Structure 1
Amino acid sequence: MKKIYFLALISILTLSACKTEKKAASKSTKPNVLFIAVDDLNTWISPIDNFSNVKTPNFDRLAKMGVTFTNAHVQAPLCGPSRASIMTGLRPSTTGIYGMTPDNKIRRPENPATKDITFLPEYFEQNGYHTMGIGKLFHIHAPDSIFNESGGRVKGFGPYPKERIVWDGFGTSKSKENKGKYGRTSTDWGAFPENDTLMPDHKSVNWVAERLHRDYDKPFFMGLGFLRVHVPLYVPQKWFDLYPLEDIQTPPYKSDDLNDIPQIGLHINDLPMMPSTEWAKESGEWKKIVQAYLACISYVDYELGRVLDALESSKHADNTVIVLWSDHGYRLGEKGTFAKHALWETATKAPLLFAGPNLPKGKKIDAPVEMLSIYPTLLELSGLSANNTNEGKSLVNMMESDQITEDTYAITTFGMNNHAVKINNYRYIRYEDGTEEFYDHTADPNEWNNEAKNPKYATQIEKMKGLLPKTNVIWDEKSSYTFQPYFVEHKARVNGEEKKPVEVIGADR
């Protein structure tokens, strides 16, 4: 009998030792990374603005799992250059990638800033990670062979009905004066298709969920790029049903808001292919557009929930870092239109959330930060050495510390020498011709009053002017934005080129 007890004791001690070794091994194992991009998502989600009582329980769920940055800003208010900045870790003003660039042309010998760059997923692969990706991660999907496993991306932003539901995609650009100067957009809204399984994002989540339940002999980096809430604002009817029209709020709008904007700012905001706020008011479509955008947010929230469910039921639940971000904000009537394409707050601010081992849970940080920080932050959270080419700063210390952060700032660039700086409660915009805008968000959260000439703010303006990028290279030859006449002329002028048609790169507008 004593021998049996002795053997039982040995077995218990052995099992205990094995568990201890397993825990120790788990602690020494580098975490996995789940990298989630949501296209065109502004800050209306419930963990940040909770606009019009938006229903996003899974964004709330992710926020409770980690840290939400309520004041994060993109480095360009346009998909292509914003994503290129995140993936290279460099500012648009450093690379000259101010517009749309083919994924395979971001890194090329002719561009000294990017010719030897290591993209974010590559850095993880070079440090022992198995890399995977599906959907829209770079502008289209990703450069060739960037992932060990690629699920690719469904072309376009469908599914599409046989005929547009509301908007023709051209707007006032059908007039003779504007013919050929503006592209046709995917902007439209309505209930389509019949069910979620017909959405490309649903299929992407299926792909991710299946891989989250696999075993790996090394840590993994998994990228998931949602297509919604990018236009057309089509999702099944059940998502529209969450938002009765009579309960919809519309964003703040002032018809004479642009009267104090410099001429160059008006040129950049010249977007007749997009619905104007005045048209939306007169036609009765404004609430319907907002309803469609909210419906798309709730649909993405549902798909996010499926991802979180898959992760939580997998073996990787306790050892995975999650980052969720969007490539820019989106205006739903603010400043006269429905678009991104601007250096104002509603176009540059976007969600940024982190969760993972050892990070605080349910924490919110209101200090301004940059999406440029995603690259170095993920490296530090994964225990990898810093990439010295990164121009962003890691946010790990800010997330882990209770210290109040002072004087953090964010810079957004839209074309060579057009920049916005966000610091504390102020926004400063300086255009290539030296004209300026300045807003005090404490007194003017909607940026209706340009205070650039107000002597009260002279000291603050000079301080923010000193944060502008010192390097401002000309446009990269392969980067362009052909759907807005200012940028066609701007590139031709600053690069010393003739005004000529430029190759259209993946219509994202």
Structure 2
Amino acid sequence: MKKAHLLLLLMFAFVFSCNNEKKKEEKEEVSKPNVLFIAVDDLNNWISPIDNFSNVKTPNFDRLAKMGVTFTNAHVQAPLCGPSRASLMTGLRPSTTGIYGMTPDNKIRRAGNPATKDITFLPEYFEENGYHTMGVGKLFHIHAPDSVFNESGGRVKGFGPYPKKRFVWDGFGKGIRGTHGRTSTDWGAFPESDTLMPDHQSVNWVTERLQRNYDKPFFMGLGFLRVHVPLYVPQKWFDMYPLEAIQTPPYKSDDLNDIPPVGMQINDLPMMPSTEWAKESGEWKKIVQAYLACMSYVDYELGRVLDALEQSKYADNTVVVLWSDHGYRLGEKGTFAKHALWETATKAPLMFAGPNLPKGKKINAPVEMLSIYPTLLELSGLPVYERNEGNSLVAMMENDEGLEEARAITTFGMNNHAIKVNGFRYIQYEDGTEELYNHSTDPNEWTNEANNPKFKNKIETLKTFLPKTNVKWDSESNYTFQPYFVEQKKRVNGL
């Protein structure tokens, strides 16, 4: 009888111990920070916490900047949305994956690509480590590969809403049908109400989910469509920017005279408005006005997200990261587009906020969007993912570590790279031709110093940072919008 009683006590103690251990694990899991992951399409550095261009009105970007750390010199790994987002979500460089162009979301990870065939996407890594994952809007090139999120709000197709007829630009410009793609580039006040914008609906989706209860930490992705063209938002956002007060960015008509032929091929975008056309037609200020209006609209929607977070039970235990997939040229270097290895196309906002991070801090050292994946893992207390090619920015944010050695690499097609270090940008094209810009004297990158003997040693040093791996184009990755990339893929892949 005594033995039976003792056995019963031991069994009770064992069950009690197991339950306590389980509760402890559940408590630790719930105490991990949530992640709010915000992507803004085509957003350059004109926002008020960074450049404050032409008195742009973006108070909620300012608000987020005060909550955490702003990187004023962050650069994308490709100046094009598809490969830029694929790089960020895989943690791999375009030169490693061969994803230099647009790749269907479901084709990024596939048996035919040795680099990505077994890669774990950023949201999946969080799910594997006990997170509930959710996403809405444009996060990968379209939305997301199937089953990447536990909950998906999807994405409205395209970049509408669209009026029945374009306001200004026909989408072809001087481009040749069948040779050059048609662009969504256009600008004007449309539609009548913010509630008709897909981004408004995406924020509604996020707001509703921030009001729910979760038994585990969450990873929530929100992808804004604006400020991607067409530059359509309701009239009230245009009214904030009277045309007479609009500034236009620096421009030099003979700026491209010292650019190598490959650089000129890449910059050949006849379907886009040219700066000379915009000047002659009187549309330049109107395009800038429309871009600023779109910025202020996105800022408003960001404010709605921050309000929802602050009013939720998750306000004090959520890491927020906001980023863009590339910069955008608004007349610089002769056109209105991303599509380049120059500063205005590769530089984009990057902001972090969350528990234990400094508040209101700005870092001017060059960093990479590739660092978002490992940074979020460290901020969330998750194990390092050994496949990541980027470096965590936590030590830089908290202790200013690595500022002097910081650099960023951008790739546009196979073997075309830009290296950004403090004070310089070096570009090397596939044929070995080069550009070098000294930002201390030439912030607009108007003078190519690649042939200046004074910088020979600097160039040799910068060359050592070029990617050692440069794989051929992935078979599922294409960029038919630009003839140069169509020809390059055929040539290097032997098609």
Tell whether the structures are fold-level matches, with TM greater than 0.5: yes
Q: Report 1:407-426 matches (<5 A).
A: 407-426=405-424
1:349 to 341, 347, 350: 347
* Equivalent of residue 189 in structure 1, options 184, 187, 198: 187
Alignment of 1:421-432 (within 5 A): 421-432=419-430
Partner of 1:440: 438
1:416-474 C-alpha deviation (Å, 9 max, x unpaired): 00000000010000000000000000000000000000011111111110000000000
Residue by residue, what CA displacement relative to the aligned partner does 1:372-416 show, whole Å, maximum 9, x if unpaired? Answer: 000000000000001000000000000000457112100000000
Aligned partner of residue 308 in structure 1, secondary structure: helix
User: Could you list the runs of 4 or more consecutive aligned residues of structure 1 that deviate by over 4 angstroms after TM superposition?
Assistant: 24-28
Cα displacement string for residues 15-43 of structure 1 (whole angstroms, at most 9, x for unaligned residues) = xxxxxx99x96898100000000000000
Q: Is 2:475 the counterpart of 1:473? A: no
Structure 2, unaligned runs of 5 or more: 1-22
Q: Deviations over 1:65-98 (max 9, x none)?
A: 0000000000000000000000000000000000
Match of 1:106 in 2: 108
Equivalent residue for 1:226? Answer: 224
> How far apart are residue 179 of structure 1 and its match?
3.3
* Alignment-derived partner of residue 277 in structure 1: 275
> Counterpart amino acid of 1:283?
S
Give the whole-Å Cα distance in 1 for the aligned partners of 2:145 and 2:87. 14
Is 1:96 equivalent to 2:94 in the alignment?
A: no
Q: Secondary structure at the match of 1:354?
A: strand
**CA deviation after TM superposition for structure 1 residue 206, in Å:** 0.2
Pick aligned residue for 1:449 from 447, 450, 457:
447
1:181 Cα deviation after fit: 1.0
Correspondence for 2:6:
none
Aligned residues of 2:395 and 2:401 also touching (Cα < 8 A): no
Q: 2:420 aligned with 1:400, yes or no?
A: no
Supply the AA of the counterpart residue of 1:405.
L
Matches within 5 A, 1:256-267: 256-267=254-265
Q: 1:378 to 1:253 in 2, by over 3 A?
A: same
Matches within 5 A, 1:230-379: 230-379=228-377
Counterpart of 1:172 in 2: which secondary structure? coil
Supply the AA of the counterpart residue of 2:422. Answer: N
Distance 1:404 1:132 in 2: 33
- Whichever residue aligns with residue 476 of structure 1, its letter is D
| Residue equivalent to 1:135 | 137
**Aligned counterpart, 1:10:** none
Change (3 A) 1:144 1:26: closer
Normalising by structure 2, what TM-score? 0.94
Deviation at 1:180, TM superposition (A): 1.3
TM-score w.r.t. length of structure 1: 0.92
Structure 1 residues 37-46 or 395-404, which shifts more?
395-404
**Equivalence for 2:64:** 62
C-alpha spacing 1:26/1:112, structure 2 compared with 1 (3 Å): closer
Which of the residues 123, 126, 129 maps onto 1:124?
A: 126
Distance in 1, matches of 2:327 and 2:215, equals 38
1:9-28 equivalent positions in 2, closer than 5 A: none
What one-letter code is carried by the residue in structure 2 that aligns with 1:292? A
Q: The residue matched to 1:194 in structure 2 has which SS?
A: coil
- Percentage of pairs with the same residue: 83
| Alpha-carbon distance in 2 for matches of 1:439, 1:417 | 19
Shift, 1:59, TM fit: 0.1
CA distance in 2, matches of 1:332, 1:453: 28
2:37 to 11, 14, 35: 35
Equivalent residues of 2:68, 2:358 under 8 A apart: yes
Q: What is residue 4 of structure 1 aligned with on the other side?
A: none
The 8 Å contact of residues 134 and 149 in structure 2, kept in 1 or not, is answered as yes
Q: How many angstroms apart in 1 are the aligned matches of 2:301 and 2:389? A: 32
Amino acid at match of 1:77: P
Aligned length: 472
Alpha-carbon separation, structure 2, partners of 1:164 and 1:121: 37
Instruction: Specify the SS of the correspondent of 2:337.
Output: coil
The answer to whether residue 54 in structure 2 is matched with residue 52 in structure 1 is yes
Question: How far apart, in 1, do the equivalents of 2:178 and 2:147 lie?
Answer: 36
2:172 match: 170
Aligned partner letter, 2:357: L
